[in-house]
A and B are shown apart, each in its own frame.
Chain A
Amino acid sequence: MADVAARNPADLSTQPRSGLHKLMQRKSTIAFLMALPLILLITILVAYPAGYAVYLATLNKGMTRFVGFGNFEFLFGRDTFWLVVYQSCLFAITAVIFKAIIGFVVAHFVHNIPSKGQRKWRGMLLVPWVIPPAMSTLAWLWLFDPSYSALNWLLGFFGIEGIPWTGEAGWARFSVILVNVWIGSPFFMIMYLAALKSVPEQLYEAASIDGATWWQRIWYVTLPMMRNIIAITALFSLIVTFANFDIVRVLTAGGPLNSTHIFGTWAFRVGIEGGDIPLGAAVSLFMVPILAVAATFILRDITKRGSEV
């Protein structure tokens, strides 16, 4: 195929061509030019800023002097920083686990019902994923309102005392995780549903004949068959959840007393609102290790599957 492409235009024309023109006719040159906008975009607006963040993190507040690891040392000495580290990990890990469980369970229920109605249910259950997160978090903020909370009204209806959803540290942490689970589990549901449909029916029949209970069928047939999808979806979600901004920003803005700040929102508070750009850059760089680990695993999975094909 490659030769066809390269020779074709040259053979048809009999005029002599300049070196540049020949270069322009070569397949690899054309391909490179076609990918050039992408390369420029990635280099200027993603790769360069990512590297620049490292440089920025080594400057002092006025960005006039190189301070090496000064910003990091400063962060390590602050209690708020460790609070943010703790909250980021708690937020991301708890949310991903619950999203995965709820997604898995709901996918099973959707898979159970006749396929005629599946489309309707799937469509309804994916709605949280479609609404812009900042907008749906506003609805949650209103549901959590201290004085007019509609959720507390419902609880009161059943005789349960109202909950300070965003007012108290523990509950505020619960609330941001709840909203994140609400937004993210439909994505897991869709991914797992697609994976469930790809498990051959014969495997279940064979398991049934061997006398497997429904739990054994899930444990020995469904989960092994879906292992790849479960892992890759969880890793994707871990990255996105760890780097979350919208939910925490709108729901609690980090409060009460910085207890719900995660790296993204705290970097915004320190870097943009507090005017200390190098410190903000240093904070956001702490996301890199966990992102790198997750990305490595995802890439390994993808290249492995690529070579199998």
Chain B
Amino acid sequence: MADASIASGAPSRPKYGSMSRDRTWALRWSYFFLVLFAIFFLMPPIYMLITSLKTSAEISAATNPWWISNPTLQNYIDLLSQNQFLVFFRNSAIVSICVVILTMMISVIAAFALARMKFWGSATLATGVFLTYLIPETLLFIPLFKMFAWVNETLGIQLMNHWWTMIILYPTLTVPFATWIMIGYFASIPKELDEAALIDGATWMQTLTKIFIPVALPGIIAATIFTFTVSWAQFLYPLAFTTSTSELVLPVGIITTLIKGDVFNWGQIMTGALLGAAPPLIIYAFLMDYYIAGLTAGATKG
């Protein structure tokens, strides 16, 4: 379409049919470059899949790396029969699900209060929520490390080296963003709707559960997907705070246990990486539109 304008805007006299011809060429070029970019964007995941279907012998024999001569599922069988890998998977799944539930409870209720029931300092708090979203975890992990040591000394609760500590930590990454998205969605709901409910004698909680949550459901789904993806992918906190193999979550587990010294078992590493990438990819495949809505809402709403 961009190139089509050359035809209409060119100083030379446009001939009949040149416009549509240019349009087809613009379309062909678009497809050509889209294919190139798709190859670039999809190359690593495809290569993961290719490697995961190879035997170790085939990987170390320096043949064409992009071709599989003896496809095998052995890597998958080996990995899924390892108790250790299943423990990582379980840890990741429990952490992510708990974080999603916790995040959505905190952020939906708080976003409702911030969007509709103004109270002293609520505008400042909304800005504060957004600012917290901008504070990266790379800034917080060192003080948190020290705080955990302090908690252990004074309260006797060992937070270090437990997978469930992640349930406490991940909401710091997910709640600000989820709240921010939900404030945007709630603010777009017409005021007449909740006024009508209040006049009918609904309490604030009823207004939230009977009106706001159903109406803002797409936003809630988007925030849920985002929360899950973030907590599934989080790498720094588990790397800094957990060390025993039984306490690791999937991304850290794959990187610290499958890469042993100088011996890289790439078939298994790629299988693990692919299985680790699978849950977010599957969710994305089914709920792509919600995913994209949440992505664009984060920066455009507000």
Interface positions of A (Cβ within 8 A of B)? 1-2, 4-5, 8-9, 12, 27-32, 34-35, 37-39, 41-42, 45-50, 52-53, 56, 63, 102, 105-106, 108-114, 119, 121-136, 138-140, 142-143, 145, 147-148, 150, 153-154, 182, 186-187, 190-191, 194, 204, 207-214, 217-218, 229, 232-233, 236, 239-240, 242-246, 249-250, 263-264, 267-268, 271-272, 277, 280-281, 284-285, 287-288, 291, 294-295, 298-299, 302, 305-306
Contact = CB atoms under 8 A, between A and B. Distances in A.
21 contacts: A37-B109, A38-B107, A38-B110, A50-B135, A52-B143, A119-B288, A130-B229, A135-B277, A138-B269, A142-B51, A142-B266, A150-B65, A186-B41, A191-B300, A208-B8, A264-B136, A268-B138, A268-B141, A291-B136, A291-B139, A299-B127
Binding site secondary structure of chain B: helix
Given A27-B119, A109-B34, A139-B270, A187 B295 contact: yes
A139 to B, nearest CB: 4
Interface of B: 1-3, 5-6, 8-11, 26-27, 30-31, 33-34, 37-38, 40-45, 47-48, 51, 59-60, 62, 64-66, 105-107, 109-110, 112-114, 117-120, 122, 125, 127-132, 134-147, 168-169, 171-172, 175-176, 179, 191, 194-195, 198-199, 201, 203-204, 229, 232-233, 235-236, 239-240, 251-252, 254-255, 264, 266, 269-270, 273-274, 276-277, 280-281, 284-285, 288, 291-292, 295-296, 299-300, 302
A267 B240 CA distance: 11
A182 B37 CA distance: 10
A146 B133 CA distance: 38
A38 B110 CA distance: 6
Contact of A214 (B2, B251, B252, B302): B2
A133 B127 contact: no
Contact of A130 (B176, B280, B300): B280
A176 to B, nearest CB: 14
Contact of B273 (A39, A139, A194): A139
A277 B41 contact: no
A130 B169 CA distance: 21
A45 B240 contact: no
A31 B41 CA distance: 45
B139 A284 contact: yes
Contacts, number: 335
Contacts of A147: 62
Given A41-B175, A284-B138, A136 B198 contact: no
Nearest to B240: A272
B143 A53 contact: yes
Contact of A112 (B9, B26, B239): B26
Given A52-B146, A135-B251, A245-B235, A214 B6 contact: yes
A245 B118 contact: no
Contacts of B59: 148
B236 A246 contact: yes
Contact of B277 (A131, A143, A285, A287): A131
A284 B295 CA distance: 27
Contact of A45 (B65, B139, B144): B144
Contacts of A131: 45, 277, 280-281
A214 B3 contact: yes
Nearest to B134: A295
Given A132-B251, A134-B252, A214-B6, 13 more contacts: A8-B201, A31-B114, A49-B140, A125-B38, A127-B41, A139-B44, A143-B47, A150-B66, A190-B296, A191-B300, A214-B9, A272-B141, A291-B135
A45 B233 contact: no
B42 A108 contact: no
A194 B300 contact: yes
B299 A281 contact: no
A56 B112 CA distance: 36
A140 B299 contact: no
Contacts of B45: 127-128, 131, 136, 139
B143 A133 contact: no
B141 A218 contact: no
A77 B21 CA distance: 64
Contacts of B201: 8, 12
A236 B300 CA distance: 12
A88 to B, nearest CB: 11
B47 to A, nearest CB: 6
B34 A113 contact: yes
Contacts of A190: 292, 295-296
B6 A288 contact: no
Contacts of B288: 119, 123, 126
A136 B277 contact: yes
A208 B240 contact: no
Contacts of B51: 142
Nearest to B117: A31
